[in-house]
Amino acid sequence: MKSIAEQRILVYNSLSGTKEEFKPLNGNMVGMYVCGPTVYNNVHLGNCRTFISFDIIFRYLKHLGYKVRYVRNITDAGHLENDADEGEDRITKKARIEEIEPMEVVQKYTVDFHRTLAKFNTLPPSIEPTATGHIVEQIELAKQILESGFAYEVNGSVYFDVLKFNESSAYGKLSGRKLKDMIHNTRETSGQSEKRNPQDFALWKKAQPEHIMRWPSPWGDGFPGWHLECTAMSTKYLGKKFDIHGGGMDLKFPHHECEIAQGEAVSNCSPANYWVHANMLTLNGKKMAKSTGNNILPNEIFTGENDIMERPFSPTVTRFFMLQAHYRSVLDFSNDAMLASEKGFSKLMQALSLLDSINTDTETTGFDVTKWKQKCYDAMNDDFNTPILIATLFDAAKFAQNVNDGRESITKEDLNTLQSTFHSFIHDVLGLSKEVQGVDHYLEDALHLLIELRNDARKRKDFVTSDKIRDELSKAGIILKDGSHETTFTLRQ
């Protein structure tokens, strides 16, 4: 592992539109806030890509030795169907459809969220606060914004005054939008009459009689605005100014734009130094959407119960698929892409096994291991570029195969460095776990048992039995390879 001092990390900051050197506010301490899910439905694949992207950032910073406080919220109240502060609360609507209590909806889909991310081997955040657990903080924040003069109360609701804020700052600087253009393109819609301007957004909404999720406030019973919760929770646990604020690209506007405005209104500074956004997933070249049927859930991939994939794919292969594209790039999910990812991942795992079985007593190395190791770090230091890192790992995999085949040589010291670095980046940084790809994981133990029985037969010189096991496995597409210390296998592609 390299030390923090040895690495210069560049992070693409959405606020400036450029890569900037990463310099934490507090030495080796890093504060990172990522907008979590609204728990009213099963977590979808696009959400998972976002959380896997930030899991990589979390893992890499920890790998370098930073002490990271990673905060990721759960939105369990206040998220209306329409960004114009109209419509029904998403959780309340789901509760009505499923004929259960809103908090039953929250519990059901929070559990699904955690289970799905666990399958993807993401690390849990340091703190996972909920919106309903921080109502007091959100009310206090709304009070502060009112006192600053950037909000107003009307009929029991509190709205942020965007035009007033824009007089001293630039609303839209994160997304690149101009307020005058927004005003020009605004169409009047119902429910906006109590706002001074259509661009204003709710800090607190008055609850109508039929609204189930409601809390008392100085302005009457109501519920918090969606944007308010993230400002309240991020600043409570990370301070008024912290290092990284992340989320999906779709949150740039209006959510993150509103968070910046709220933060500046009470603290005269943007909440985060670096605004980081993960891009979207498409499916077969089209935007994922439940309404069109062009959509697939993670568990449908793992079980194969879908009309898109020709067979199931494991969570690890799916994670590997996502890491083969940079987090800021649009990534298209398809059956062919998953088949290719499975092959690539299988080769990487074979190299991992091969490296562990290589024995060497040579005094020369035909591969610059020190330079290769730094290339791994250089890839991650360049805005967490996982596809470049994976390509660099494949370079080592090819070299390992050459060593095993006697075409290259490596010293014991270089082999130890190669092994430890390969393991660190595969497991600790990329979060990939070794598994049998293309074979039902329940049969992995049975396969290893057959290999063990064959090895025993070879020791007894029972070549009829050993050859039969080898040949029958070959017919099934499982190719055995006998090394000096271990028998490994590959799958016929």
Amino acid (1-letter code) at residue 259: E
92-102 confidence digits (pLDDT tens):
889 889 999 99
278-294 confidence digits (pLDDT tens):
999 999 888 876 667 77
Considering only 76-90, 155-169, 327-341, 464-478, which range has the smallest mean pLDDT?
76-90
pLDDT-derived band at 120 (thresholds 50, 70, 90) equals very high
Cα 469 to Cα 475: distance, rounded to the nearest angstrom: 10
Map tokens 């060593």 to a residue.
403
User: Which class for 407: exposed (0-12), middle (13-18), buried (19 or more C-beta within 10 A)?
Assistant: exposed
How many alpha carbons lie under 13 Å from residue 485 in its C-beta half-sphere?
9
Cα 170 to Cα 154: distance, rounded to the nearest angstrom: 25
Rounded average pLDDT over 54-61: 98
12-49 confidence digits (pLDDT tens):
999 999 999 999 999 999 999 999 999 999 999 999 99
Map tokens 């994976």 to a residue.
390
Helix (H) or strand (E) holding 475, with range, is: helix 463-475
CB 38 within 8 A of CB 72: no
Cα 446 to Cα 452: distance, rounded to the nearest angstrom: 10
What percent of the chain is predicted at pLDDT more than 90?
Answer: 71
Helix (H) or strand (E) holding 82, with range, is: strand 80-82
What lies within 8 Å, CB to CB, of 399 at 6+ separation is: 366, 367, 408, 410
Regarding predicted confidence, which is higher, 449 or 409? 409
Rounded average pLDDT over 263-274: 96
175-226 confidence digits (pLDDT tens):
999 998 888 776 655 445 799 999 999 999 999 988 889 999 999 999 999 9
Query: Three-state SS for 29?
Result: strand
Sheet-wide strand order for 151-154: 151-154, 157-160, 201-206, 222-224
How far is it between the farthest Cα atoms of the chain? 90
CB 345 within 8 A of CB 317: yes
Rounded average pLDDT over 376-404: 96
pLDDT-derived band at 493 (thresholds 50, 70, 90) equals very low
Map tokens 């990534």 to a residue.
331
Cα 78 to Cα 132: distance, rounded to the nearest angstrom: 9
pLDDT-derived band at 491 (thresholds 50, 70, 90) equals low
Regarding predicted confidence, which is higher, 188 or 373? 373
Cα 155 to Cα 377: distance, rounded to the nearest angstrom: 56
Regarding predicted confidence, which is higher, 246 or 5? 246
List the domains of the chain with CATH numbers.
9-278 (3.40.50.620), 282-429 (1.10.730), 441-491 (no CATH)
Q: What is the 3-state secondary structure (H, E, C) of 282-329?
A: EECCEECEHHHCECCCHHHHHHCCCCCCCCCCCHHHHHHHHHCCCCCC
Q: What is the pLDDT of residue 85?
A: 74
What lies within 8 Å, CB to CB, of 55 at 6+ separation is: 120, 122, 123, 431
Q: What is the pLDDT of residue 445?
A: 66
Long-range contacts of 347-350 (CB under 8 A, 24+ apart): 347/394, 347/397, 348/320, 348/390, 348/393, 348/394, 348/397, 348/426, 348/432, 349/434, 349/435, 349/437, 350/397, 350/488, 350/490
Query: Is the confidence at residue 268, as pLDDT, over 70?
Result: yes
Report the candidate in 291, 408, 300, 317 with the shortest Cα–Cα distance to residue 52. 317
- E strand intervals along 177-321: 201-206, 222-224, 242-248, 272-278, 281-283, 286-287
What mean pLDDT, rounded, does the chain reach? Answer: 91
For the chain, give me the number of helices (H) and strands (E)?
16, 17
Calculate the alpha carbon distances from 383 to 278, 280, 291, 331 in Å.
12, 17, 34, 17
* Token digits of residue 173: 């600087």
Regarding predicted confidence, which is higher, 366 or 136? 136
Regarding predicted confidence, which is higher, 68 or 307? 68
Helix (H) or strand (E) holding 262, with range, is: helix 257-267
Q: What is the pLDDT of residue 437?
A: 46
Amino acid (1-letter code) at residue 275: W
Q: What is the pLDDT of residue 443?
A: 67
Q: What is the 3-state secondary structure (H, E, C) of 343-381?
A: HHHHHHHHHHHHHHHCCCCCCCCCCCHHHHHHHHHHHHH
Rounded average pLDDT over 66-77: 97
Helix (H) or strand (E) holding 238, with range, is: helix 226-238
